[in-house]
């Protein structure tokens, strides 16, 4: 029996972002040395130059680093890349700056990670900043130390806010996988936890919680290892898709579960023949249709959950 893969049906407003999201869903990372990563893709406006900025936090047993990669949003070629080490014995590198030229635009990178706090993720949760400055504007600001960032850079806030396309996180754990994300930049950040019970006398189960509240409970997971559901978070609709086939049918560490969180309501195309019946495959294909929406990039969160012994 074949099952429609819910992540194949995913699409976003902007065509270039669609291709990027599909590549992420179809090309999952490999399990090497249990390296936890958090990747965020932003589109920024630097003077007269539009640029995609990939923010990659990486952590394993030997290293902890921040990587900034600047790409041409049209061609995809790399303009510039910068790596910042967060190793305890390299304390001096936790505060610094770098400069480079990007298509005729001068760009400065400033960071202060000396007091950064972490809660199990390679990405800090508080007490830090990373600021990108171009033409006297802070075009991208990460972290909660905004006052310190503006004081140090002596720059003004950007007239055009950066756009966050997606966030992708690789988490290694036994049963509980946690991440956090904003589904609306103007609202609070949410804590997301995926928990599972795939061994033992009972049938496999899975729970997905947001801000401590269970929004999805899947029983008989061996039959429902792929699926999707709409939930409400602070009066906002959120699409949740999952595929945990490898949790159940591969050995521990040999596969991962993948989850997609996307704000907004699902839109299924109307049946022109007037029939009220639709197959699951047809519903999946129209699940994220954006035909009636303007081509504005929409945020999505990918969570790769790797089970370890």
In the chain the domains, ranked by start, together with CATH numbers, are: 34-170 (no CATH), 174-266+298-308 (2.40.128.180)
Residue 24 predicted with pLDDT over 50: no
Rounded to an integer, the average pLDDT of 255-269 is 85
**What distance in Å separates the CA atoms of residue 258 and residue 25, rounded to the nearest whole number?**
8
User: Predicted confidence band at 183 (pLDDT cuts at 50, 70, 90)?
Assistant: confident
**pLDDT recorded at residue 20:** 44
What Rg do the C-alpha atoms of the chain give, in angstroms?
21
Least confident of 12-16, 137-141, 232-236: 12-16
Backbone dihedral angles phi then psi of residue 80, each to the nearest 5 degrees:
-165, 150
pLDDT tens, position by position, 88-144 = 665 567 899 999 998 888 999 999 999 999 988 999 999 999 999 999 999 999 999
pLDDT tens, position by position, 37-69 = 999 999 998 877 889 999 999 998 888 999 999
**pLDDT recorded at residue 120:** 86
The predicted model scores a pTM of 0.79
Q: Is 291 helix (H, G, I), strand (E, B) or coil?
A: coil
Exposed (0-12), middle (13-18) or buried (19+): which is 232, by Cβ within 10 Å?
exposed
In this structure, are residues 110 and 134 in contact, taking their beta carbons and an 8 Å threshold? Answer: no
More confident site: 253 or 118: 118
Residue 188 predicted with pLDDT over 50: yes
How distant is the alpha carbon of residue 134 from its chain centre?
A: 25
**What distance in Å separates the CA atoms of residue 84 and residue 98, rounded to the nearest whole number?**
10
In this structure, are residues 97 and 153 in contact, taking their beta carbons and an 8 Å threshold? Answer: no
Closest CA to 301 of 196, 192, 172: 192
Rounded to an integer, the average pLDDT of 211-229 is 94
The CB-based long-range contact list for 211-216 (8 Å cut-off, 24+ gap) reads: 215/240, 216/240
Rounded to an integer, the average pLDDT of 169-191 is 89
**pLDDT recorded at residue 89:** 61
**What distance in Å separates the CA atoms of residue 69 and residue 197, rounded to the nearest whole number?**
38
Rounded to an integer, the average pLDDT of 168-174 is 93
In this structure, are residues 45 and 137 in contact, taking their beta carbons and an 8 Å threshold? Answer: no
The DSSP code for 95 is E
In this structure, are residues 218 and 209 in contact, taking their beta carbons and an 8 Å threshold? Answer: no
Exposed (0-12), middle (13-18) or buried (19+): which is 110, by Cβ within 10 Å?
buried
Rounded to an integer, the average pLDDT of 227-253 is 90
Average pLDDT, the chain: 80
Rounded to an integer, the average pLDDT of 149-160 is 95
The secondary structure of 155-184 as a DSSP string is -EEPSS--EEEEEEEEEEESSEEEEEE-SS
Rounded to an integer, the average pLDDT of 138-163 is 95
The secondary structure of 202-240 as a DSSP string is SPPEEEEEETTEEEEEE-STTT-SEEEEEEEETTEEEEE
**What distance in Å separates the CA atoms of residue 42 and residue 131, rounded to the nearest whole number?**
13
């Amino acid at each position: 029996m074949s099952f429609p893969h819910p992540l194949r049906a995913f699409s976003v407003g902007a065509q270039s972002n669609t291709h990027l999201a599909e590549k992420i869903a179809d090309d999952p990372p490999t399990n090497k040395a249990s390296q936890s990563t958090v990747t965020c893709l932003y589109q920024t406006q630097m003077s007269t130059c539009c640029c995609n900025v990939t923010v990659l936090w990486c952590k394993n047993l030997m290293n902890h680093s921040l990587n900034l990669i600047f790409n041409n949003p049209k061609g995809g070629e790399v303009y510039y890349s910068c790596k910042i080490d967060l190793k305890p014995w390299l304390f001096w590198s936790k505060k610094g700056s770098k400069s480079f030229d990007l298509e005729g635009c001068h760009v400065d990178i400033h960071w202060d990670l000396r007091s950064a706090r972490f809660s199990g993720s390679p990405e800090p949760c508080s007490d830090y900043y990373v600021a990108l400055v171009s033409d006297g504007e802070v075009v991208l600001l990460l972290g909660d130390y905004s006052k310190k960032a503006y004081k140090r850079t002596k720059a003004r806030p950007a007239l055009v806010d950066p756009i966050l396309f997606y966030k992708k996180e690789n988490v290694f754990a036994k049963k509980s996988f946690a991440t956090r994300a904003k589904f609306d930049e103007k609202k609070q950040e949410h804590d997301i936890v995926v928990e599972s019970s795939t061994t033992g006398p009972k049938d496999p189960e899975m729970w997905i919680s947001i801000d401590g509240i269970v929004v999805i409970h899947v029983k008989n997971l061996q039959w429902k290892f792929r699926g999707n559901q709409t939930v409400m978070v602070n009066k906002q609709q959120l699409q949740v898709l999952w595929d945990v086939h490898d949790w159940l049918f591969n050995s521990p560490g040999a596969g991962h579960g993948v989850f997609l969180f996307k704000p907004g309501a699902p839109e299924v195309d109307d049946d022109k023949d007037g029939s009220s019946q639709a197959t699951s495959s047809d519903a999946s294909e129209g699940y994220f249709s954006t035909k009636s929406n303007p081509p504005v990039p929409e945020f999505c969160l990918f969570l790769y959950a790797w089970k370890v012994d």
